Structure formats: C-alpha cells, structure tokens
Amino acid sequence: MSLPPEAVLDLARQRAEARASKDFAESDRLREQIGATGWVVRDGPEGFVLAPRPPYPVLPSVDALPDRSDEPDTHRCTVALLVDGWPDDLRTCVEALLQHAPADVRLVLLENGETDAGAAVHELAAERVTELHVERAAGWAQARQALVRWDTAAVHVQLDLSTVLEGDALTPLLDALDDPSVVAAGWRGVRVVDGWREFEDAGPGEVEALLGYLVGVRRAAALQVPLPAKARFYRNADMEWSFLLREAGLGRLVAVDLPVRQDRHRGYHDTDPEYRDKESKKTYDRFLQRFRGREDLRLNR
C-alpha cells in the first residue's frame, strides 16, 4: 500500500486540529480537500488514518441516501442486501440471486460502513445491481429503513446474506403478495408461545410474524409503518415489525415454502455475544411492553 504524500498528511493534521477545536466547517472543508487529492481520511480511537480513495462514491452515512418515498413505483421488486462484510458470502448470495431471480427484479447492495466487502460490492455492481457505500455504519433498522426510502419498487424484499436461493424463490413470494389482503410474505414464519416469552416456527400459511432472512413487504406499507427505530441489532426486530404491521391493520403476513438454504448466519454466530444478547433483549423487552397480552393479534390455532 502506497504512503500518502507529506502534503496530504499535513492537511490531515490540520483537519485533526480543527476537529479538536470543534471547527467542524473547517474540518469538512479539509476532508473535501484531502478527497480531491485521491485520499480518504478516517477517524479512529487512535487518531486519523489515510487510505487511497476507493473507485466508487462513498456517502458519509445512510442519512445521505436519496429519499424517494414520494415517488411512484417504477418496477415490481427490489431485493435489498445489507453488507457488513463477508465478501465470499456476498458473492455466493448475489450470484444465486442473479441466476434464479426473474429478469425484472433488481438488487441493491448497501455496504454499511467501511468493511472488507467494499471491493466485492463494487465488483458485483451491474445493470441489475446497484451499489451503495456509506462511511459510518448505521444500526440495523436505520440502515434498512434508509433502503426502503431509497427504493421505488412496489415490493421491497429484505434478504440476509446467509439466505441463498436454490431456485426461483421470488416468483412465489411475489405471487403471495398479489393477494391484496397480504402485506408481507416470507420464507420463515413464527407464532407466539409460552405466555409471549418465546416464538416457535410456523408452517406455510398465515403467521403472526415473519423472520427477516427473506421477507417481501409492500413498499407503501414499509413507509407507513417503518421498522422499529430503536432496533440497533436485527434479532427480534423483524418480529416486532411484523406485529406493528399487523397492529396497523395493513394486511396479513404469510409464510411461503421456498427453494432456499441458509448458510452460516453471520449476524448471529459472528457478532460479539455480549452485544448481540444485550441488544436482542432490549428489542424483545420493548416488544413485550407493547404487545404482550394483545390476544386480538394472535391467530386462532
């Protein structure tokens, strides 16, 4: 890796001084000046780091993504992937999508913060695949909702990188949403058990909640009832969102038997266990506070 010229290092030092003085306007000006030289400055706990500017645009955060909520639908379906790393998993997932998805389905890949998968995201960008990159990583719900606002498809599909298509899983998913009484459809559904303390898998058909491994929702509904804003981590947030959609009376949730497999789920197995369990508990406690005892939202079994 090449070393930055002394002139660029001097600009980075000036920017560090401006940040320390809380002169953020000057800090931003110097960041842009550094960027014009072909370098990117990033801040860390031990100071700044300079790196060659990547061959693709990088937005500062998901808040900088275009908000196209008021625009009409332009196509049938977008599959949105949130990329937190794991370039090999990303390639496997996207290649299966391109092989099996109908030709009118588009993909968007959001690199959520600086990861080791940025080059793979750029490599996979093509006519059907849009790449987005942001410098500062956002929480799961914030990043996912930013993608909903960016999208202009009638159906917005959330897909986890661990979910790999082994056939055309999107046509039956979209067919389920042809029923106007259905607001969301997905691969795995669950129902509440044990006095609202646990969920268990439910078979195909109407379900109380859908898991976020592969789930499609009408974009209009996802804009009307956004993902739970306080959910920084995915686990239990998809179930909370499911009940929010049903509480709003926007339609039924259905699980569909689909030709997919699940590879290693990095979000669970490769996340710091302390962080994972802490954030998951926060979400589930919030879910219980709002919905426990709401038997009107239970399905007759």
Identity of the residue numbered 298: R
pLDDT of residue 301: 55
The encoded tokens of residue 239 equal: 């179930």
* CATH 3.90.550.10 holds for 62-297: yes
In 92-128, which positions are buried (b, 16+ CB within 10 angstroms) versus exposed (e)? ebbebbbebbeeebbbbbbbbbbbebbebbeebbeeb
Query: Pick from 161, 166, 258, 252: which is nearest to 203 by CA?
Result: 258
From first to last of its 301 residues, what are the pLDDT tens digits of the chain? Answer: 578 899 999 999 999 999 999 998 999 899 889 988 988 887 877 788 888 888 899 998 999 999 999 999 999 999 999 999 999 999 999 999 999 999 999 999 999 998 899 999 999 999 899 999 998 899 999 999 999 999 999 999 999 999 999 999 999 999 999 999 999 999 999 999 888 988 999 999 999 999 999 999 999 999 999 999 999 999 999 999 999 999 999 999 999 999 999 999 999 999 999 999 999 999 999 999 999 999 999 997 5
Q: What are phi and psi for residue 226, nearest 5 degrees?
A: -70, 165
Query: Pick from 205, 123, 99, 108: which is nearest to 157 by CA?
Result: 108
Indicate the helix (H) or strand (E) that contains 273.
Answer: helix 273-291
pLDDT of residue 148: 98
Distances (CA, A) of 41 to 1, 24, 64, 75, 127: 15, 14, 18, 38, 31
pLDDT of residue 1: 55
d(CA 7, CA 27): 16
Q: pTM for this one?
A: 0.88
d(CA 75, CA 153): 5
**Domain boundaries along the sequence of the chain:** 6-52, 62-297
pLDDT of residue 161: 97
Measured in whole angstroms, how far is the alpha carbon of residue 246 from the centre of its chain?
Answer: 21
Q: What is the DSSP string of 197-240?
A: TEEEEE-SEEESEE-TTEEEEEHHHHHHS---TT--SSTTHHHH
d(CA 230, CA 129): 29
pLDDT of residue 28: 86
What is the DSSP code (8-state) at residue 59?
Answer: B
pLDDT of residue 171: 98
pLDDT of residue 46: 79
